[in-house]
A = this chain, B = another copy of it.
Amino acid sequence: MSLIVHKYGGTSVGSVERIKAVAEKIVAKHRAGDKIVVAVSAMSGETNRLIGLAKAIHEEPNLREMDVLVSTGEQVTIALLCMALEAAGVSARSYTGSQVRILTDDAHGKARIKEIDSHRIHSDLDAGRVVVVAGFQGADDAGNITTLGRGGSDTTAVALAAALKADECQIYTDVDGVYTTDPRVVADARRLDKITFEEMLEMASQGSKILQIRSVEFAGKYNVPLRVMSSFEDGPGTLISLEDDDQMEKPVVSGIAFNRDEAKLTIRGIPDQPGVAYKVLGAISEANIEIDVIVQNVAKDNSATITFTVHRNDLARASKLLEQIAADLGAEEVASDDRIVKVSIVGVGMRSHAGVAATMFEALAAEGINIQLITTSEIKITVVIEERYLELAVRSLHSAFGLEQ
Chain A contacts to B: CB under 8 angstroms: 16, 19-20, 50, 53-54, 56-58, 61-62, 64-66, 68-69, 71-72, 75-76, 78-80, 82-84, 86-87, 92-94, 96, 98-99, 143-145
Report the Cα distance A83→B76, complex, angstroms: 22
Residues in B neighbouring A58, C-beta threshold 8 A: 83-84, 86-87
Residue of B nearest to A87 (CB): B58
Known: A58-B83, A86-B58, A143-B99. A53 touches B65 (CB 8 A): no
Does B62 contact A86, Cβ atoms closer than 8 Å? yes
Known: A75-B72, A99-B143. A65 touches B50 (CB 8 A): no
Known: A68-B96, A143-B99. A54 touches B83 (CB 8 A): yes
Contact partner of A79 (CB less than 8 A), chosen from B20, B68, B78, B86, is B68
Contact partner of A76 (CB less than 8 A), chosen from B50, B84, B93, B98, is B50
**Chain A facing B: main interface SS:** helix
Residues in B neighbouring A93, C-beta threshold 8 A: 64
Does B56 contact A16, Cβ atoms closer than 8 Å? yes
Known: A58-B86, A62-B82. A68 touches B94 (CB 8 A): yes
Residues in B neighbouring A99, C-beta threshold 8 A: 98, 143-145
Give 22 CB contacts A-B under 8 Å: A16-B53, A16-B56, A20-B57, A53-B80, A54-B79, A57-B80, A58-B84, A58-B87, A61-B83, A61-B86, A62-B86, A62-B92, A64-B93, A65-B80, A65-B83, A66-B83, A68-B94, A69-B83, A72-B72, A72-B76, A98-B99, A99-B143
- Sample of 9 further A-B pairs with CB below 8 A, known A65-B94, A69-B80, A98-B98: A16-B57, A58-B86, A58-B87, A61-B83, A65-B92, A66-B83, A68-B94, A96-B145, A98-B99
Report the Cα distance A53→B81, complex, angstroms: 11
Cβ of A198 to closest chain B Cβ, rounded Å: 39
Does B69 contact A76, Cβ atoms closer than 8 Å? yes
Residues in B neighbouring A80, C-beta threshold 8 A: 53-54, 57, 65, 69
Report the Cα distance A107→B57, complex, angstroms: 36
Does B56 contact A79, Cβ atoms closer than 8 Å? no
Residues in B neighbouring A61, C-beta threshold 8 A: 83, 86
Does B76 contact A75, Cβ atoms closer than 8 Å? no
Cβ of A18 to closest chain B Cβ, rounded Å: 11
Residue of B nearest to A82 (CB): B65
Report the Cα distance A139→B385, complex, angstroms: 58
Quick one: which of A20, A54, A66, A78 has the most chain B CB within 10 A? A54
Report the Cα distance A64→B75, complex, angstroms: 13
Cβ of A81 to closest chain B Cβ, rounded Å: 9
Report the Cα distance A94→B145, complex, angstroms: 10
Quick one: which of A62, A68, A78, A86 has the most chain B CB within 10 A? A68
Report the Cα distance A16→B64, complex, angstroms: 19
Report the Cα distance A93→B65, complex, angstroms: 8
Report the Cα distance A20→B144, complex, angstroms: 24
Residues in B neighbouring A86, C-beta threshold 8 A: 58, 61-62, 65
Report the Cα distance A150→B98, complex, angstroms: 24
